[in-house]
Structure 1
Amino acid sequence: LFEHIAQIVENHGTLVERHYGQGRMVKVIERLQIEADVQGGIILDTWGDERSVDRRLTDVKSYPFSFLVSSFLPAQRGPGISRTNSPAIGGGTNGRLSEDEGVDMKEVDGLLNETAMMLGRWSLYSRFLASKCRVSPPKGVLLQAISKISQDPDIDPDEPLVMPELLIKSALSRKISARLTTPFNIMTTFFFRRSVEKAFQLDESPDGLSLNLSKPIDGNPPFIISPVDDVMYIVNTVLQRSLSTSQRDVIASVIPTIGRVLGSDFVGMIQRKMRDESYPKPVIQGGFPPEDKILSFIILINSLDIANDYIARIVTSRISPADPSTSSLADLYPFAHDATFVKNSLESLNATFSSKTGELITDGLTVLFERVVKLRLRPVVRDVFRDVDYTLTAEELDDQARQNDEDEDADVQHDLVARRFEHAWDSIMKPIQRIMTPKCFTLLLDSTAKDLAKVLDKRVWGYAGKMSVHGASRMERDFSGIIGVVARGGRYGVRDLFARVSQVCMLVNMEEEEWEAINEVEEEGEEEMAWVLTEDERKRARALVR
């Protein structure tokens, strides 16, 4: 129907304007549109009846999403009630029939594809007529009497299109809104949310993982739960189909819906699993959390991180497609400001999802640090400094070594603290590092380094009056060795977190002439050193050596 009308307009437009004057083709288009309203309405009604669209809408509106709803309810306990904690078990084993019997997802998917295609055709038709009816304000009473719409040959063809009044007020436009756009939005909401629900019903976590470095791990990173890949595939599919309609009203409904479902259901389900199923708490008071809980918790943090990357890539690929054959937003949405609206909607989706997942990732890493890393790291700091006496002079240290018959290499003795720390640090952090995504591990490392810096800062001040000159030199070497272990692997910025400790060690070992020179420069207002220590702390540091 649309192609036939377009051919009439294209083939006869020049002839009509040549014989009847500029802008007269618009009157012909208005008459053609009246007939299109009638025929298009019949086609849409017939299609709706054949596809039972109204019945499908009733089904999807009444769909209960029982699995999602029950998953957010507190776990019920008591005789005769069996509710699994894992969505992987699905609907078939928790006492209810599959809800897919009520709504056929394949039929809904097929309806959505057909609807999207028709909306896309309507968009092309609207775009074509808009280009033929580029409007300008009517000039003169006579022209207003003839037609409220006139063609303007002076308008730049690159100017954004404006929807003609004859289409805005047409019966077919209202029919398309009621019979195509609204059902498409409703069924897309159902299709996406049901897909999220199904993904968690079929949830699978990677197995063959271990925190024991001597055991190899199965599979390849990233280690995430299966719903991440499933849901993000559906996000991409739903966005692609919705964008292909070139309808602003579709985007105004679908993109906020995707964001809402991702935030409430997808992120909500992962949050519930982190809280109720995988929270790393010890079985007995004062113990460490079980390994399987720690692994599950890390996998869920990974899942949020990877999902965040997925959404960012999907949105970027729509806003700035790398493939030249892919239509840009400006091509898909030529009407005034529509492309900007779509771009802003996509960016808002990405920003909102990133914010929500970012908060949960931060909370999860805080729990992992407090419940796992910190509990194991605090005893390590005490252990690596055992038997270390910074009051000894170089001669006393040599005498002690001879008395203990220590024939180890001097360098090995010198690096004893750093080697002890490295061994303990690797046993704590490396098992986590090989499971966790690099971005999340970097955040965890930052949190750990900040806490360790506070512990070392407290310890270094505790040596006041308990250090010889030689002991101060050993202390600087030991603390620098610990900082080097934490900061290795290209994460040099971590060293900045230990700036206070490093400056104390530097001041303790600074020659008196150098100290006086620094003070003179500061008195002249030409301070070169970026101090993180206050003036009083710098003086205290100089007095640490007895």
Structure 2
Amino acid sequence: MATDYFTSGDASQLSLEKLRSLTNIEEIQECLRILDLEENQVDVDLDILLERRGQLEAELDKLEALRPQLGALSLQATNLLSIINGTSNVAERISAQVRQLDLEQSRVQETIEEVENVQELKLCINGMHSAMQMRDYEAAANYVHRASELDPRILNGEFAENAVPSSEYPDVPTKTLSDAKASLFSVFSKEFDAAVQNRDENNISRFFRLFPLIAIKPNFYADALTKLFENIAVIIDQHHPVVETHYGAGKMIRVLERLQEECDKQSRIILNTFGDEKQLMRKVADIRSYNNTPRRMIITPHRTGGQSRDSLSVQPRDIENMPDTREIDAVLTELAMISQRAHLYFRFMESRIKSEAEAMKINGVDVSLEKSTDDYNPNSFLSNSGLMKQIKHLINDYFLVEEYFLRRALEQAVEIDKIEEGNSTSSCVDDVFYILKRSAFRAVSTSNVDCIVTMVNIINQCLETEFIKVHQKRLILLNNLDVSCDYIQRLASELQDDATRTLAPLPEDHEDCRKAQKSLSSLSDSAINKFKQILQSGLEQLFKQLVKPRIRPILQEAYKDIKYVLNEDEYHDQESNDNFAKRFVNGFDSLLHIYKMTLTENNYNQIMIHLLDWLLFMWEKTILATKFNQLGALRFDKDLRAVSNYFSSRMQWSFRDKFTRLNQISTLLNLESLSEIYDYWGSSTKSSNPITWRLTITEARKVLGLRIEFKTEDVANIKL
């Protein structure tokens, strides 16, 4: 075992602890042997070193001689390293500054380029509009081409959308260019077709060169359907005489049937491809999901004069994943065009089928036909066709997508609503009615009556549920101002009473009492005056924008088929029907209901005062353009009293003095003879019941001239 332990013969492995632990004589002897060998080797190594001592000392002397030089070199190296580190830091700092300058320079250059591009875009758009107004189509097309060549990032950028629109052309650049291209394409197409018909080579060449400049993208699928329908129409026109000549009248209907079957097949391919490329099914599914998603309130900025304030709007949770409205707009436009072309084709086929079916009935039923002539009814023939079914399916999708487009566009218009300084209305009014106009005209362009009716209902619903509610919420702000005025006045009054009690030990004419009362009074006067100014301005804007435009139509509707030159039967008929009063009440009840329900009593009465002033002004103009006889004047007096009673039941404030002019007009119209005017006209010495007349002498003569029983010369000779 000792042998295995010491087989290495290495003395370095023999530690003092191991030696002390030895008890076996053999192991002790082996260790001694190993140590002797190690001692001998150490002696040999020492002898070798001693022999080289002189050489080593000489080498050490040389190194010692180099010590001063190495010290100097070390110091120099340290100084050099310090210099290099300083230079490196400076270089790194300068390099970082250079890189920052390069970055800033590149950004400045990009900004300059973007500004120049936006200036170019604005120049092109302004030039394009001017050229189109002057009918300089070459210049307009060149401007459109220059604008279209700009980077799409510039065209769609936020900077261009804010910088390019103006009060004259408020649309974003992409919308302006798109509308201009469509307008120019329509003009070029008409002029080119006219030139072809007139064989005008100059205009043919002229407009042929202009088409590429506007680079309008064709509605490929609508055009493909159009070509299919045109080819079918050409086949029918070309082969109808041949079939009728050789097979007899009415036999063309079998050809029409086969052509319609082929049309169904080919149109199915076109429309299915259209749906796949436009991802129509996915969009419809997304919109259905959007409509079923619970909505939440979010805060959106409402900007006023460049500054923003927060307002509430409602958004679904997954709005970020919804299709873009611009993309949907393009799909809807092509859908409308597809519907239009299909309905033109249906009308063409309907007329041909109808004429052929009538010819079959005249000639009797042909036994060679598999169907009865009754089966070739134009309505059933087309309504059962594959094309008609597919168009109906697309129109149903059109309703859903168009309604989403309309609602989403209205939401966006409200979200970005802003009031430019100096404008009396905010931007959402123009934006909303531009969107409504676009959707309505697109629905009309489908040539589908059901589509038009449905879209009108959708537009009405959107106005009632989206647009009116937005303004209804804003009416609350007017109420807040009105109630705030009351609260401020009440607060100031309570503070004055409390201050009087607190300062009771002091006489009322004491300087401190006067100072406190003056300060508290200024709280009421200053704040209330400012609030009332803003409130009055808001109520006036509300009246001008929403109420005033509806007064004239209501008055016109009330006066529909109403006249004041009546015989006995007509008078009694109007007396029993009372159509004017009924229409008037219905019209103004409908107009005023939302304001009655929403506004405070004070604000509502203020609106009613504005309404009454404008209504009476319009009514007076209407009356002064109407002819009367005695029965008609009596009927007008009753209508006037009905209107006065209507407003008396709906207003808390006294207003009857506002009817003074119309009451005086009614008084003059109801005179039995011209001489009776002296019983009323206060300026006459014969007057027994003088009144203050609001009508001038000229106006009084004009009113008397409205009575057909009073001669013009007699009216002119009245001395007033």
2:720 pairs with 1:493: no
Q: Which has the higher helix share?
A: 2
- The SS at the match of 2:290 is coil
Give the letter for the 1:291 counterpart: Q
Q: Aligned partners of 2:401 and 2:607: how far apart in 1?
A: 46
Q: For residue 241 of structure 1, report the CA deviation from its aligned partner.
A: 0.7
Q: Which residue of 2 aligns with 1:44?
A: 271
Q: Which residue of 1 aligns with 2:231?
A: 4
Give the letter for the 1:175 counterpart: Q
Decide whether the 8 Å contact of 1:259 with 1:353 is kept in 2: no
Decide whether the 8 Å contact of 2:268 with 2:390 is kept in 1: yes
2:509 pairs with 1:283: no
From 441, 456, 463, the equivalent of 1:240 is 441
Q: Which residue of 2 aligns with 1:540?
A: none
Q: Which residue of 1 aligns with 2:403?
A: 189
Q: For residue 94 of structure 1, report the CA deviation from its aligned partner.
A: 10
From 53, 57, 79, the equivalent of 2:280 is 53
| Correspondence list, 1:260-409, <5 A | 260-275=461-476, 279-285=480-486, 287=489, 290-305=532-547, 359-360=593-594, 367=601, 372=606
| Alignment CA distance shift 1:64-1:164 (3 Å) | closer
- Structure 1's unaligned 5+ residue stretches are 72-81, 153-161, 208-217, 313-351, 375-428, 458-482, 516-546
Q: For residue 494 of structure 1, report the CA deviation from its aligned partner.
A: 6.9
| Alignment CA distance shift 1:27-1:194 (3 Å) | same
Give the letter for the 1:360 counterpart: I
From 244, 252, 257, the equivalent of 1:17 is 244
Q: Aligned partners of 1:109 and 1:259: how far apart in 2?
A: 20
Q: Which residue of 2 aligns with 1:316?
A: none
Q: Which residue of 1 aligns with 2:116?
A: none
- The SS at the match of 1:23 is coil
2:413 pairs with 1:199: yes
| Alignment CA distance shift 1:186-1:450 (3 Å) | closer
Q: Aligned partners of 1:122 and 1:144: how far apart in 2?
A: 33
Q: Aligned partners of 1:361 and 1:257: how far apart in 2?
A: 24
Q: For residue 300 of structure 1, report the CA deviation from its aligned partner.
A: 3.4
Q: For residue 61 of structure 1, report the CA deviation from its aligned partner.
A: 2.1
Q: For residue 33 of structure 1, report the CA deviation from its aligned partner.
A: 0.8
| Correspondence list, 1:131-210, <5 A | 131-134=351-354, 135-136=357-358, 138=361, 142-143=365-366, 146=369, 147-149=371-373, 163-178=378-393, 180-205=394-419, 207=421
- Structure 2's unaligned 5+ residue stretches are 1-227, 490-527, 555-585, 620-642, 669-676, 690-720
Give the letter for the 2:451 counterpart: V
2:297 pairs with 1:63: no
Q: For residue 296 of structure 1, report the CA deviation from its aligned partner.
A: 2.8
Q: For residue 360 of structure 1, report the CA deviation from its aligned partner.
A: 3.2
Decide whether the 8 Å contact of 2:365 with 2:372 is kept in 1: no
| Alignment CA distance shift 1:439-1:196 (3 Å) | farther
Give the letter for the 1:304 counterpart: L
Q: Aligned partners of 2:276 and 2:257: how far apart in 1?
A: 29
Q: Aligned partners of 2:395 and 2:378: how far apart in 1?
A: 17
From 258, 265, 270, the equivalent of 1:31 is 258
Q: Which residue of 2 aligns with 1:421?
A: none
Q: Aligned partners of 1:56 and 1:189: how far apart in 2?
A: 13
Q: Aligned partners of 1:354 and 1:299: how far apart in 2?
A: 19
- The SS at the match of 1:285 is helix
| Alignment CA distance shift 1:32-1:307 (3 Å) | farther
Give the letter for the 1:240 counterpart: F
Q: Aligned partners of 1:101 and 1:311: how far apart in 2?
A: 44
Q: Aligned partners of 2:413 and 2:462: how far apart in 1?
A: 13
Decide whether the 8 Å contact of 1:83 with 1:94 is kept in 2: no
| TM-score, scaled relative to structure 1 | 0.51
Q: Aligned partners of 1:191 and 1:49: how far apart in 2?
A: 20
Decide whether the 8 Å contact of 1:40 with 1:172 is kept in 2: yes
| Correspondence list, 1:371-520, <5 A | 372=606, 455=654, 492-493=661-662
| TM-score, scaled relative to structure 2 | 0.40
From 411, 432, 447, the equivalent of 1:231 is 432
**Can you list the C-alpha shifts for 1:240-265, whole angstroms capped at 9, x where unaligned?**
11111111231232111111111121
Higher relative contact order (CA 8 A, sep 6+): 1
Q: For residue 188 of structure 1, report the CA deviation from its aligned partner.
A: 0.7
Q: Aligned partners of 2:461 and 2:655: how far apart in 1?
A: 45
| Alignment CA distance shift 1:450-1:172 (3 Å) | closer
Q: For residue 102 of structure 1, report the CA deviation from its aligned partner.
A: 2.4
**Can you list the C-alpha shifts for 1:212-256, whole angstroms capped at 9, x where unaligned?**
xxxxxx44xxx3333222111112111111111111231232111
**Can you list the C-alpha shifts for 1:496-543, whole angstroms capped at 9, x where unaligned?**
6999xxx9x96999999968xxxxxxxxxxxxxxxxxxxxxxxxxxxx
Q: Aligned partners of 1:224 and 1:151: how far apart in 2?
A: 60
Q: For residue 371 of structure 1, report the CA deviation from its aligned partner.
A: 5.7
**Can you list the C-alpha shifts for 1:460-481, whole angstroms capped at 9, x where unaligned?**
xxxxxxxxxxxxxxxxxxxxxx
Q: Which residue of 2 aligns with 1:129?
A: 349
- The SS at the match of 2:484 is coil
Give the letter for the 2:408 counterpart: R
| Alignment CA distance shift 1:90-1:283 (3 Å) | closer
**Can you list the C-alpha shifts for 1:398-440, whole angstroms capped at 9, x where unaligned?**
xxxxxxxxxxxxxxxxxxxxxxxxxxxxxxx9xx79xx99669
- The SS at the match of 1:142 is coil
2:331 pairs with 1:116: no
Count residues with an aligned counterpart.
349
From 457, 461, 473, the equivalent of 1:256 is 457
| Alignment CA distance shift 1:18-1:253 (3 Å) | same
- CA root-mean-square deviation: 5.2
- The SS at the match of 1:124 is helix
Q: Which residue of 1 aligns with 2:83?
A: none
Decide whether the 8 Å contact of 2:294 with 2:316 is kept in 1: no
Q: For residue 30 of structure 1, report the CA deviation from its aligned partner.
A: 0.3
Q: Aligned partners of 1:496 and 1:65: how far apart in 2?
A: 60
Give the letter for the 1:303 counterpart: Q
Give the letter for the 2:387 counterpart: L
Q: For residue 16 of structure 1, report the CA deviation from its aligned partner.
A: 1.0
Q: Which residue of 2 aligns with 1:321?
A: none
| Alignment CA distance shift 1:166-1:49 (3 Å) | same
Q: For residue 272 of structure 1, report the CA deviation from its aligned partner.
A: 2.2
Decide whether the 8 Å contact of 1:373 with 1:448 is kept in 2: no
Q: For residue 99 of structure 1, report the CA deviation from its aligned partner.
A: 3.4
- The SS at the match of 1:224 is coil
Q: For residue 97 of structure 1, report the CA deviation from its aligned partner.
A: 9.1
